Amino acid sequence: MLRKRRRALDAARPDAAQAAAAALPLEALPAFEWFASYHAVGSELDPAPLAARLVKAGGRLALPVTLAADAPLIFRAWRAGDEPQIDAFGVPTPPASAPQVTPSLVICPLLAFDKAGGRLGRGGGHYDRTIAALRAAGPVFMLGLAYAGQEVDALVMEPHDQRLDAILTENGYTELRKD
């Protein structure tokens, strides 16, 4: 049902990615050098306009790489003109020769979110494991990118689930965590 909803939102709002990128108040983000984006799969909101805006503002782009089904993601530097490789899940990623980096801002795809920072992803736990590992090493800001219509009243969270710090949609930016 949530995938069907996202597909309908994707079809109804072809301008949503540009609108979301324009709606981000850059001053609301914590300072960062490296940020991680993602390659949109299916009807996920395309992060390319947002990534381009963050690069233009001085950020350095990294993309996730899945090495194994039960492992945290790693992030590799990405530059325009790089020849993508395909990771363990068939997603285009930076080449293996690209340096591995540690982002302090991570843009996360999602299937649903709530105002408490709950995030429902694809179900593999990759972002939960990854964000937990990053947060154990230092501060990291988790920005969910979604269509406004992906919001639900409440998600059931398990102890290992990592909450979003903020959400960005075509309708604007909302901080979610205050801890």
Q: Is 119 annotated as a binding residue?
A: yes
Q: Is 125 annotated as a binding residue?
A: yes
Determine the distance from the C-alpha atom of residue 157 to the mean position of all C-alpha atoms in its chain, rounded to a whole number.
18
Helix extents (H) in the chain = 2-12, 16-23, 48-56, 126-137
Q: Is 6 annotated as a binding residue?
A: no
Q: Is 138 annotated as a binding residue?
A: no
Q: Is 42 annotated as a binding residue?
A: no
Q: Is 123 annotated as a binding residue?
A: yes
Q: Is 160 annotated as a binding residue?
A: no
Question: The tokens 């992060």 sit on which residue?
Answer: 47
Q: Is 118 annotated as a binding residue?
A: no
Return the structure tokens found at 94.
């930076």
Sheet holding 100-101, edge to edge: 100-101, 74-77, 60-65, 34-36, 105-108, 141-145, 166-169, 172-175
Q: Is 121 annotated as a binding residue?
A: yes
Return the structure tokens found at 74.
């790693």
Q: Is 44 annotated as a binding residue?
A: yes
Distance separating alpha carbons of residues 165 and 27, to the nearest angstrom: 15
Binding residues are 44, 119-127
Question: Binding site residues for substrate, as ranges?
Answer: 44
Binding residues for ATP: 119-127
